[in-house]
A and B are shown apart, each in its own frame.
Chain A
Amino acid sequence: MREMTYKEAINLAMREEMRRDPDVFLMGEDVGIYGGAFGVSVGLIEEFGEERVRDTPISEAIITGAAAGAAVTGMRPIVEIMFMDFTTLAMDALVNQAAKMRYMFGGKAKVPMTLRCAGGSGTGAAAQHSQSLEAWFCHIPGLKVVVPGTPKDAKGLLKAAIRDDNPVVFVEQKTLYKEKGMVPEEDDFIIPLGVGEIKKEGKDVTVVSYGRMLPRVLKVAEELEREGISVEVVDPRTLVPLDKEIIINSVIKTGRAVLVNEACKTGGYLGEIASVIVESEAFDYLDAPIVRLAGLDVPIPYNPELEKAVVPSEEQIRAGILKVLNR
């Protein structure tokens, strides 16, 4: 174990997988000598050269389409799309091509590609560089969707994504890039896709959260613990496939659920998690209506105070937890 940042953990995951498997390569805008817009791929071109760390033109559609084509013919490409917002330019390649090739060809193709992108607000980059669009991808059968919330998870999940034989959308959280945590350095440390984790055990209320909101939720949970309220924090880590069991079991235990994410509320993934709970036996254990704390249904604004107001704050998370406890 070594302390490192979320960004370093992602870098290490790519480095290890590229050392292990010559078919793994990285392509994207400015991923070479620049090291990626957020510095995630720093040093990779020095180790692996231009052939395997490929700077591309600003052409999201073809970078993503080419990843699908390379994947279906035997490579394991990692694509970096600089901002998650720019996946809009790659939608045909991802949604109509990569996600569907296996099914529509009768199971005779596999598309082992990983699309990394940076999601979320909080950097003052405004409406076109700050979105959390993960729910879109969850709605497409054939794609897997991962949103790591800690450096350790980022490393273990990215290695699993690269080794997976399906297209995986790996949503990195910009504001977590510099967050530090202990990360296993073993080459075989993998976190399987579809396995959630209880980030903090508790018995009074379940909070399901992922990505950028996770540290915020954990901070509130620790505070409430000191006040005598026992909060269980469940991180699904992968949204597709979703570890339904871990969520359902936690809600059965606590009888109360608060769901927290950064993305817009309407049509967001929290609605899916809420449905998983109420469609399961956990419904019978619910002592209060489920509380959803999500981003406001607005584009991300520029002014820092406005920007902050869009996503759930610690105060709002605290209030949401108290509300579900009728306190």
Chain B
Amino acid sequence: MNTISKEILREMYKRMNEARAFEEKVSYFFARGMVHGTTHLSIGQEASAIAACMALNDDDLMTSTHRGHSQVIGKGIDLNKMVAELLGKYTGYCKGKGGSMHIADVEVGNLGANGVVGGGHGIAVGAALTQKMKNTGKIVLCFFGDGAANEGSFHEALNLASVWKLPVIFYCENNQYGMSVPIDKTMNIENVADRASAYGIPGYIIDGNNAIEVYTKMKEIAKYVRGGNGPVLVESKTYRWLGHSKSDAQVYRTKEEVETWKKKCPIQQLRKYIIENNVMDARELDEIENNARKAIEDAVIFANNSPNPPIESVTEDVYA
């Protein structure tokens, strides 16, 4: 029984394919040294990020992470400005000053990706405080990873948000590794969500590779949080297919393990669901995929044709 509309499924499939195509392109650029710095790719985590964002309202707020490309695409983003930012161009979201780790669009409620693990917790709590004090009815989606769950800011954030009953969803994308170290070496419990009970808030575990499950559960959770019941902790179990960053030789895990997770590809799972439920046929889905790749190619052309930031801009915007 399909309860998610065709429009939503189409958009979800589109954004997931855009995220995949975007990151494959970024990976290609980095491998050839065509962009500098570093990047953290989320291939394999598209359902976890995108379906969660899409379960919320467009005007809800979010904080993103260093592995945030899928998250911001999930929130809804101009791909031209995003690729331009990756390439350090003046037309990018941050005028070329932020790069991969700082994509933000504050006006639409994307309060920014964060280069510091656990750095978004406080910002999300503060944003939720604003919504409560101004009684806006909006909620905040705070993305973080399993690694950030061991930062002190995690504890302080969940504690304060629970005491003040703030409208924030703490959404842990558990991709099994904090850089190279598996979670069983960094936590004495199996599930991050188990920690919810310490704050007297609900904790949920969801299959982050299953877009339908993520979307459906997050719809319910968003309703609960919007109802003034305080924060929740959600743990989305997923896996990153690629290394931590561009310089990762991945000596800490086996190829077999990665292959096992690739068989649970979130995009293929969603495709199968859509076809089996007769929402769209293979031809329509192929077209969405092709359009997604084309959108990225177009964005690359836009970015390549964009100017670099003027040198004078280096001292602009330090202060308001």
- Interface residues, chain A, CB within 8 Å of chain B? 25, 51, 54, 56-57, 59, 61-75, 77, 92-93, 96-97, 101-112, 141-142, 144, 165-166
- Total A-B residue pairs with C-beta atoms closer than 8 Å? 145
Least CB separation from A144: chain B residue: B319
A sample of 17 more A-B contacts (CB under 8 A), given A71-B126, A105-B104, is A62-B157, A62-B160, A63-B160, A65-B126, A66-B123, A68-B122, A69-B127, A70-B129, A72-B123, A73-B127, A74-B134, A102-B320, A106-B93, A106-B94, A108-B94, A109-B112, A166-B319
Once the chains are docked, how many angstroms separate the CA of A25 from the CA of B133? 10
B176 at the interface (CB under 8 A from A): no
Name the segment of B30-38, B95-103, B250-258 touching the other chain.
B95-103
Q: Which chain B positions have C-beta within 8 A of A104? A: 94, 97-98, 102, 104, 112
* CB neighbors of A among B113-144 (8 A): 114-116, 118-119, 121-131, 133-134
B126 touches A102 (CB 8 A): no
Once the chains are docked, how many angstroms separate the CA of A25 from the CA of B131? 14
Selected contact of B163 from candidates A57, A73, A75, A92, CB within 8 Å: A57
B292 at the interface (CB under 8 A from A): no
Q: Which chain B positions have C-beta within 8 A of A68? A: 122-123, 126
Once the chains are docked, how many angstroms separate the CA of A213 from the CA of B111? 41
B287 at the interface (CB under 8 A from A): no
Q: Which chain A positions have C-beta within 8 A of B123? A: 65-66, 68-69, 72, 97
Q: Which chain A positions have C-beta within 8 A of B118? A: 92
A103 touches B156 (CB 8 A): no
Interface-central residue, A59, A62, A97, by most chain B CB under 10 Å: A62
A64 touches B97 (CB 8 A): no
* A65-B97 CB under 8 A given contacts A73-B127, A106-B92: no
Distance to closest chain A CB from B137 (angstroms): 14
Can you name 24 A-B residue pairings with CB atoms under 8 Å? A25-B133, A57-B156, A61-B122, A62-B156, A65-B119, A65-B121, A65-B122, A65-B123, A65-B126, A66-B160, A68-B122, A68-B123, A69-B130, A72-B123, A72-B126, A73-B130, A77-B126, A93-B122, A104-B94, A104-B97, A106-B92, A106-B317, A110-B320, A165-B320
Closest 4 CB pairs of A and B: A65-B122, A69-B126, A107-B317, A62-B156
Selected contact of A62 from candidates B61, B95, B106, B122, CB within 8 Å: B122
Selected contact of A107 from candidates B63, B95, B111, CB within 8 Å: B95
Once the chains are docked, how many angstroms separate the CA of A65 from the CA of B130? 13
Distance to closest chain A CB from B61 (angstroms): 7
Least CB separation from B316: chain A residue: A107
Q: Which chain B positions have C-beta within 8 A of A63? A: 160
B276 at the interface (CB under 8 A from A): no
Q: Which chain B positions have C-beta within 8 A of A105? A: 93-94, 97-98, 102, 104, 106, 112
B94 touches A69 (CB 8 A): no
Q: Which chain B positions have C-beta within 8 A of A61? A: 122, 152-153, 156
Distance to closest chain B CB from A219 (angstroms): 36
Distance to closest chain B CB from A237 (angstroms): 18
Q: Which chain B positions have C-beta within 8 A of A73? A: 61, 111, 126-127, 130-131
Q: Which chain A positions have C-beta within 8 A of B102? A: 104-105
B269 at the interface (CB under 8 A from A): no
Distance to closest chain B CB from A204 (angstroms): 37
Once the chains are docked, how many angstroms separate the CA of A125 from the CA of B93? 48
Selected contact of B319 from candidates A92, A97, A102, CB within 8 Å: A102
Q: Which chain A positions have C-beta within 8 A of B157? A: 62, 65
Selected contact of B153 from candidates A62, A107, A109, A142, CB within 8 Å: A62
Q: Which chain B positions have C-beta within 8 A of A97? A: 114, 116, 119, 122-123
Distance to closest chain A CB from B82 (angstroms): 13
B122 touches A69 (CB 8 A): yes
Q: Which chain B positions have C-beta within 8 A of A112? A: 320
Once the chains are docked, how many angstroms separate the CA of A92 from the CA of B157? 14
Distance to closest chain A CB from B31 (angstroms): 26
Q: Which chain B positions have C-beta within 8 A of A109? A: 104, 106, 112
Selected contact of B317 from candidates A59, A62, A74, A103, CB within 8 Å: A103
B318 at the interface (CB under 8 A from A): yes
B126 touches A108 (CB 8 A): no
Selected contact of B129 from candidates A64, A66, A106, CB within 8 Å: A66
Selected contact of B122 from candidates A54, A66, A75, A110, CB within 8 Å: A66
Once the chains are docked, how many angstroms separate the CA of A59 from the CA of B94? 31
B126 touches A67 (CB 8 A): yes
Selected contact of B107 from candidates A56, A57, A65, A108, CB within 8 Å: A108
Once the chains are docked, how many angstroms separate the CA of A51 from the CA of B165? 12
A72 touches B317 (CB 8 A): no
Least CB separation from A69: chain B residue: B126
Q: Which chain A positions have C-beta within 8 A of B119? A: 65, 92-93, 96-97
B106 touches A96 (CB 8 A): no
Least CB separation from A93: chain B residue: B122
B306 at the interface (CB under 8 A from A): no
* CB neighbors of A among B50-106 (8 A): 61, 63, 92-98, 102, 104-106
* A101-B319 CB under 8 A given contacts A62-B121, A73-B126: no
* A56-B95 CB under 8 A given contacts A25-B133, A62-B122, A69-B124: no
Distance to closest chain A CB from B128 (angstroms): 8
A56 touches B126 (CB 8 A): no
A59 touches B156 (CB 8 A): yes
